[in-house]
Amino acid sequence: MRGLTIMVVTADAERLHAAFTFAAAAAAGGASARVHLHETAVALLAGPLTATNDEARRRAGLPTLDQIFEEADALGVRISVCQSGLALAGLTLEGIDPRIEANGPLGLFGSLGTDQFISF
């Protein structure tokens, strides 16, 4: 099965939730999967991982943003952030979750191989 790379290009927590959901599904199916947060999307990592529809998800028995992040991580989904995005958000790699790595466009595209590439 081909791998899946998803790039989140905006600071929209609902898009990030969707990205983690699809990446987790791919990983659960045996594919390698990763989510890359580009520029303004990196700011979503500055505080608690929450999304607008988290309460509705909780009531429906579905994973919230922080829960789907943990599920994706447990399934082996790799998560990376744009170095420019760290600077824009006033964050450092050391100041966010230690499971997250930094990656730039050259590194990301250089490691795609045969992965399917989707942007959210």
Mean pLDDT for all residues in the chain: 96
Is the pLDDT score of 47 beyond 90? no
| Domains in the chain, number | 1
pLDDT value of residue 1: 83
Average pLDDT over residues 31-53: 96
* Rg of the chain over all Cα atoms, to the nearest angstrom: 14
Judged by DSSP in three states, 112 sits in: coil
pLDDT 10s digits, 60-100: 999 999 999 999 999 999 999 999 999 999 999 999 999 99
Structure pTM? 0.95
Q: Report the CATH number that the domain containing residue 93 is assigned in CATH.
A: 3.40.1260.10
Q: Please tell me the distance from the alpha carbon of residue 56 to that of residue 62, in angstroms, as a whole number.
A: 8
Average pLDDT over residues 13-33: 98
Instruction: Identify the domain containing residue 114 by its residue range.
Output: 4-119
